[in-house]
Structure 1
Amino acid sequence: MSYVTFQDVCKYYHMGSQTIAAADHVTFTIKQGEFCVVVGPSGAGKTTVLNILGGMDSCDEGTVLLDGRKVSGMNEKELTSYRRHDVGFVFQFYNLVQNLTALENVELASEICKEPLPPEQVLDSVGLSARMDNFPAQLSGGEQQRVAIARALAKNPKILLCDEPTGALDYSTGKTILRLLQDCCRNMNKTVIVVTHNQALTPMADRVIHIHNGSVASIEENQTPIPVEQIEW
């Protein structure tokens, strides 16, 4: 059963008399509970796809569905509600509120949604039970990204969208964060979608969607995903 569906999704940008297709008839499906990696070079259209699925942008053509609900065609009010309740976001930069503690940053997210998870419990699940009262400036980059992941999970979203989540981190810290995302997928049955330019991450995914020049170049299903610890790049 498809949980995420893109069907002939197009997104155009107009530059003078030129029309550029950032998404060109993109079609794919993702099942619930899958760890999906969307991979491709810079400028390929990966982030456009992520933004459309996350309700931060809208498509010009095609259909987008999440859990049977049509996202494409939502108005601004509906998209705001969708982003608030159904989607958890993790970005390359942590976007934490600097004058709030780790716990308060996570509480901020849990206060705006319907069925939040307990903030303390979520911070404990990402290994930060001892750092809840610390401010972002007192945390390492990896710890700040853990807070960002906890904030996204506290919303109890249907999908977790991660755009280059290890881009600002060193190699070993990046691996730790990817392991955490893989665990969230397996242990919490969350559908996790990671957008990256790093081809080396593909063996850890259940599904790999290769994006090139705004189109889906290929899709692979991996029957035996491997732990991120076994991946080198």
Structure 2
Amino acid sequence: MSAYVEFKNVKKTYRTGEVEIHALSDVSFEINKGEFCVIVGASGAGKTTILNILGGMDTLTSGSVFLDGTEISALNKKMLTAYRRYDVGFVFQFYNLVQNLTALENVELAAQICRDPLDAEKILGQVGLSERMSNFPAQLSGGEQQRVAIARALAKNPKLLLCDEPTGALDYETGKAVLKLLQDTCRKSGMTVVVITHNQALTPMADRIITVKNGTVSAVRMNDNIVDIADIEW
């Protein structure tokens, strides 16, 4: 059985004038379906570049990337747009909500662009916002806005949920609640979730931990003793 996500010898080079910047060099790893994977590394290590390539937001210089048997790295621009639309859910550090739409409308917006969406009201209930559906982003706390952003990503019913420092703008307790939501979503729905973070303390909550250093994968390990995020402190 082949892995759900596969990176094979991926290189990414940026050129600025005469200068070449090697963001990734020879990155290889696999993630299985339904896993909660944490990609951890210092700022500038290359983890966001990995996420952007996996999410179809950036292209690679050489190598290949697969999701569920499809070679993402071989898709043209139009196909990549469809891939981002249908197959991937994104959660970023900043919530990117449409300010003049309610929480419900923000989630419905995502549901409108995909093939097999989940019910927006139901998803908002699952993330604990059934009482806040008609509120606008400005009327919500940071943690609530991030929950709307997660609900919006989940409503697309994606094959893969990619989270880039999802608690970076949140306080400690709110951040933990958001991570618990992501961990529970993975466990209950069987969705494949990838979280990138600089915070080493989060690694015990993952099935698979991929450590990135200076544009390469320095370690991949499976976690036999998964810890609930409620029991992790940092």
TM-score (norm 2): 0.98
* Residue 122 of structure 1 pairs with residue 102 of structure 2: no
2:187 match: 186
Q: Please report how far the alpha carbon of residue 202 of structure 1 lies from its aligned counterpart in structure 2 after TM superposition.
A: 0.4
RMSD over aligned CA atoms reads: 0.7
1:146-200 CA-to-partner distances (Å, cap 9, x unmatched) read 0000000000000000000000000000000000000010001010000000000
Gaps of 5+ in 2: none
2:50 match: 49
* Residue 32 of structure 1 pairs with residue 49 of structure 2: no
Distance 1:32 1:229 in 2: 24
Distance 1:16 1:66 in 2: 33
SS in 1 for 2:124: helix
Distance 2:16 2:82 in 1: 31
* Residue 92 of structure 1 pairs with residue 58 of structure 2: no
Distance 2:106 2:160 in 1: 20
Task: Read off the aligned partner of 2:121 and give its amino acid letter.
Answer: E
Task: Read off the aligned partner of 1:123 and give its amino acid letter.
Answer: L
Question: Aligned residues: percent identity?
Answer: 66
1:199 match: 200
Distance 1:14 1:139 in 2: 41
Distance 1:103 1:78 in 2: 29
SS in 2 for 1:59: coil
Q: In the comparison of the two structures, how many residue pairs are matched?
A: 233
Gaps of 5+ in 1: none
Distance 2:204 2:142 in 1: 25
2:64 match: 63
* 1:1-233 alignment, distance < 5 Å: 1=1, 2-233=3-234
Distance 1:87 1:204 in 2: 22
